[in-house]
């Protein structure tokens, strides 16, 4: 394999090799009933002071709310912010849609960052149903497809050594899936993991029978100190429709504080242990791997073109000068050893250059 084949191989590998985050990143889906409120908590890391709530990708026409204030509301959209428990750059941004309508279905983004664009964001999808997808529940419901893994944060303001996971209301022992003092425990397809001051629940390869309400938290399952209710519906993969595009462009823009829209009590209720607010599970960043891959592709392409140009230039120079690979001009007088093969015209004069001679004068010989 020569250098050209090698470079082409590297170039194609950079284009097609591996899974990049843009393709594999999972967008959480939440379903709520028309006329109800939809509320989502976004866990973000950024030193920026601007908060964003957008439909689609936060282009200029996509922005529903953009503000530096801790609380804001524009029409049916509201947003509240509080600092996270682990670091000064961690923030919890709660976004809400009031009195949902069918046109609210689609992709959304919540984020933190500079005044122009968010540098830390989470994407999610809202679906709006005409009927209640899960009997007895109001608010958003996490929606998954059969065969997928489900992962969610168990929001709680209290930590205890004992941790639990139930399906249902945790009224009997039959409801308990996990009850443990360990930080990592698995029971069949269900698991609990405690890390970095957060408790996560995971359901492997979800099935339709996993549809229902789950309760996870700290303390004993039948007498918990704190818990979080996690509603889930599992649907067939064939029922996955594309996100609905926005029917009309949002009419909102940068806003200032609106103290009458969300009281401190409303903000605190977001973090009540019995709240039904859904949480955005952190997902791997996909922008950085994509940028690195693009830069690698262009770098390899530039090297390939440089090497190719040098090779062609060297080849053309060798052809024009008659040089061999060692750079020595091997052209000399043509000598006929067989006199009979000498052309009839005997008075031709040929210029001969002796390669081994150091004499700069030209040597002429008559053949």
Give CA–CA dist 118/115, Å, rounded. Answer: 8
Give CA–CA dist 55/75, Å, rounded. Answer: 14
What pLDDT score was predicted for residue 99?
Answer: 96
What pLDDT score was predicted for residue 350?
Answer: 47
Hey, what are 279's tokens? 């949480």
pTM over 0.75: no
What pLDDT score was predicted for residue 286?
Answer: 41
- Residues contacting residue 235 through CB under 8 Å, at least 6 positions apart: 143, 144, 145, 146, 208
Nearest CA to 42 among 81, 92, 83, 106? Answer: 92
Nearest CA to 96 among 74, 111, 66, 67? Answer: 74
Hey, what are 307's tokens? 């090497």
Q: Which CATH architecture has domain 33-286?
A: Sandwich (2.60)
Give CA–CA dist 278/280, Å, rounded. Answer: 7
Give CA–CA dist 367/365, Å, rounded. Answer: 6
Strand partners, 136: none
CB atoms within 10 A of CB 7: 17
What pLDDT score was predicted for residue 287?
Answer: 46
Mutual angle of helices 287-321 and 3-16, in 10-degree steps: 160
Hey, what are 150's tokens? 């489900």
> In the chain, what are the domain boundaries?
33-286
Cα dist from 21 to 26, 27, 121, 290, whole Å: 9, 12, 14, 7
SS3 of the chain: helix, strand, coil, percent, to 5: 20, 35, 45
What pLDDT score was predicted for residue 196?
Answer: 78
Which SS3 state, helix, strand or coil, does residue 92 take? strand
CA-atom Rg of the chain in angstroms: 35
DSSP for residue 236: -
* Cβ-contact 322, 353 below 8 angstroms: no
- Residues contacting residue 59 through CB under 8 Å, at least 6 positions apart: none
pLDDT tens per residue, the chain (367 residues)? 455 544 444 444 444 444 333 344 689 999 999 999 999 999 888 888 899 999 998 888 899 999 999 999 999 999 999 987 666 778 899 999 999 999 999 999 999 998 888 889 999 999 999 998 898 888 999 999 999 999 998 876 678 899 999 999 999 999 999 999 999 999 999 999 998 788 999 999 999 999 999 999 999 999 999 999 999 999 998 655 555 444 443 333 344 333 333 333 333 333 333 333 444 444 444 444 566 677 787 788 888 888 888 877 776 655 555 544 444 444 443 444 444 444 554 454 445 555 555 555 554 444 4
Cα dist from 261 to 76, 101, 116, 264, whole Å: 11, 20, 25, 10
What pLDDT score was predicted for residue 159?
Answer: 83
**What does the angle CA 118 – CA 124 – CA 128 come to, to the nearest 5 degrees?**
135
């Amino acid at each position: 394999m020569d250098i050209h084949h090698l470079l082409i191989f590297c170039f194609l590998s950079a284009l097609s090799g591996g899974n990049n985050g843009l393709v594999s990143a999972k967008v959480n889906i939440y379903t709520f009933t028309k006329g109800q409120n939809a509320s989502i908590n976004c866990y973000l890391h950024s030193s920026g002071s601007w908060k964003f709530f957008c439909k689609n990708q936060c282009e200029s026409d996509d922005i529903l709310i953009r503000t530096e204030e801790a609380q804001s509301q524009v029409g049916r959209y509201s947003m509240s912010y509080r600092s996270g428990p682990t670091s000064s750059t961690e923030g919890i941004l709660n976004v809400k849609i009031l009195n949902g309508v069918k046109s609210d279905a689609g992709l959304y983004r919540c984020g933190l960052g500079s005044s122009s664009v968010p540098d830390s964001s989470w994407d999610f999808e809202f679906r709006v149903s005409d009927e209640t997808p899960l009997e007895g529940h109001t608010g958003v419901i996490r929606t998954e497809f059969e065969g997928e893994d489900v992962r969610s944060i168990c929001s709680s303001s209290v930590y205890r050594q004992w941790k639990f996971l139930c399906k249902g209301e945790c009224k009997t022992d039959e409801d308990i899936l996990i009850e443990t003092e360990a930080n990592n425990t698995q029971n069949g397809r269900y698991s609990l993991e405690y890390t970095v001051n957060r408790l996560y629940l995971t359901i492997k390869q979800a099935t339709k029978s996993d549809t229902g309400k789950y309760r996870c938290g700290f303390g004993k399952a039948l007498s918990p100190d704190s818990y979080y209710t996690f509603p889930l519906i599992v649907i067939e993969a064939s029922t996955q429709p594309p996100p609905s595009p926005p029917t009309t462009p949002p009419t909102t823009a940068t806003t200032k504080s609106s103290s009458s829209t969300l009281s401190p009590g409303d903000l605190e209720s977001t973090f009540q242990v019995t709240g039904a607010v859904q949480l955005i599970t952190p997902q791997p960043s996909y922008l950085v791997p994509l940028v690195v891959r693009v830069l690698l592709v262009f770098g390899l392409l530039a090297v390939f073109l440089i090497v190719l140009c040098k090779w062609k230039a060297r080849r053309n120079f060798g052809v024009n000068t008659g040089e061999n690979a060692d750079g020595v001009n091997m052209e000399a007088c043509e000598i006929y050893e067989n006199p009979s093969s000498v052309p009839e015209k005997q008075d031709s004069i040929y210029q001969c250059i002796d390669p081994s001679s150091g004499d700069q004068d030209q040597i002429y010989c008559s053949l």
